[in-house]
Structure 1
């Protein structure tokens, strides 16, 4: 938490300084978010319920979680860690939501990474779980930070069996199945990215009523898995399947089979031209994740500080 509220002369919005002091440990982040309309709108909805909201977090199960059949394993792993859904929002990512959810981290992303996310995330719906941390008590680490600490590092070599990414069998840096809000200030902000006034009001009712959203979550899983075939994310098998595909996907695979190098930009252009429901789309997306070499720009830091389990640590 912030050790001090921002001085009055630095206030740039009407957001209560006491709220800012409890939803983030970073004064810099507090200043940036206090003027963001998404965060302001969530403060209008949830600002009076801060003690309850510190025990709430978000986990977005992304498009590849449906294709890779990680939806049910994810909800089971979350339950095992003490998180249960009190609401669920199913939505389809588009260019705007991708940029707004990752706004404060995209400054470090390479162009290829951004373009790959634009191709992957809108392919199927994302399931946003609004989770209650059943272990949270006043004065304890906020739910968002505890979930992030359990998610585990991006580097597979550093993951432990208790990490959610280990349990879900994350494929690579892009097929990682879930996005979790960094801390409570991000929970507020991302809710408003996805939800208008009326939907936020319903979410507030459900949070305060300790609603059991599990039946809705499982119904959403059923619908998605009934609509979208499973995929194995196997790079070699994807190229083999593409070899027998008609049109541009098959032509790319034939060139590769003949020993010609196929560039990332070509696979992206081919994928961009296909509808979301094309039977070879996930094969092409799998190839893209293997051809993508650089996810982040060297020497560039996120525009807001990273949050770790050392909550309330360095200012």
Structure 2
């Protein structure tokens, strides 16, 4: 069809259609996070904008806000599957009142690791980043979408579900971790092998949908989760769990004791998975994980937090 054959009304409607489908305005980020300054950062974050475009384009604006508030993500990392504790974490989350809505295996590559923790690794050493790369190279993890079992828009006390789940997750420092936390259930031994990741607030839920999933995967995950969110029954996620276990069988958490010599970096990336996992565990105890010269903060609250104090 020649463009000249179309009337001005047709062109106007076409422009409106393109805008509705592909140029969705970002949300009011201050509605999705209470952290001072974070809304301004996320308004310029490409993954945050992409995640919102998928949610709002698929569910509509108001339902997109509701989805972000009523759900949380959990990435059960490869170390949880290698340590054979992933199933225990899933059971503990359900026992704490959370209900799974959808799940799929997710493998993050080196760049995905850096994107996921772009705002949280300001204290990380280069050794810690190498350990994260080795972790990702072990195999896939499992991404699960959860809601609170109450079925309300927010968890008890008016909290978004992501805030409640992150509190249950527990600290990454094993010495200060609550004994009833999910990381305690997972047997996380230190700041490097934390076993699971959850978003801190609804803004992170939106952003991380785009970090973990491409466009087609994201659409299917949102479809499944929103369908189960409208009901009362948990989603069946056993098939997704088995798919991860088929690629990364449970190995158990090996002893940190490796007499004789320190771990060499090449041991983390070459050889059978059992040897790489043992080297990763040993290196996670021996290598420096925190720097005393952090990168610049992204929002004011980060300046007030230090893992050294």
Assess same fold via TM > 0.5. yes
Provide the C-alpha distance between the structure 1 equivalents of 2:52 and 2:103, rounded to a whole number of angstroms. 20
What residue is the counterpart of 1:181 in the other structure?
199
Secondary structure of 1:171's aligned partner: coil
What residue is the counterpart of 2:216 in the other structure?
198
Provide the C-alpha distance between the structure 1 equivalents of 2:179 and 2:39, rounded to a whole number of angstroms. 34
Q: Which runs of 5+ in 1 are unaligned?
A: 1-12, 240-252, 257-261, 308-315
What residue is the counterpart of 2:161 in the other structure?
143
What residue is the counterpart of 2:253 in the other structure?
232
Select which of 39, 44, 48 maps to 2:53: 44
Provide the C-alpha distance between the structure 2 equivalents of 1:99 and 1:187, rounded to a whole number of angstroms. 17
RMSD: 2.4
Please say which of residues 142-151 and 166-175 is displaced more in the overlay: 166-175
Q: Which runs of 5+ in 2 are unaligned?
A: 1-23, 303-309
Q: Report the CA distance between 1:288 and its aligned residue.
A: 0.8
Cα 1:224–1:46 change in 2 (3 A) is closer
Q: Report the CA distance between 1:175 and its aligned residue.
A: 1.6
Provide the C-alpha distance between the structure 1 equivalents of 2:294 and 2:80, rounded to a whole number of angstroms. 31
What residue is the counterpart of 1:112 in the other structure?
127
Select which of 223, 239, 260 maps to 1:219: 239
Scaled by the length of structure 2, what TM-score is found? 0.78
Please say which of residues 181-190 and 85-94 is displaced more in the overlay: 85-94
Alignment of 1:36-115 (within 5 A): 36-47=45-56, 48=61, 49=63, 50-115=65-130
Cα 1:229–1:51 change in 2 (3 A) is closer
Q: Report the CA distance between 1:69 and its aligned residue.
A: 0.8
What residue is the counterpart of 1:244 in the other structure?
none
Q: Report the CA distance between 1:93 and its aligned residue.
A: 1.6
Q: Report the CA distance between 1:263 and its aligned residue.
A: 4.2
Provide the C-alpha distance between the structure 1 equivalents of 2:33 and 2:203, rounded to a whole number of angstroms. 6
Scaled by the length of structure 1, what TM-score is found? 0.76
Secondary structure of 1:54's aligned partner: helix
Provide the C-alpha distance between the structure 2 equivalents of 1:300 and 1:136, rounded to a whole number of angstroms. 40
Alignment of 1:136-175 (within 5 A): 137-138=152-153, 140-175=158-193
Please say which of residues 41-50 and 73-82 is displaced more in the overlay: 41-50
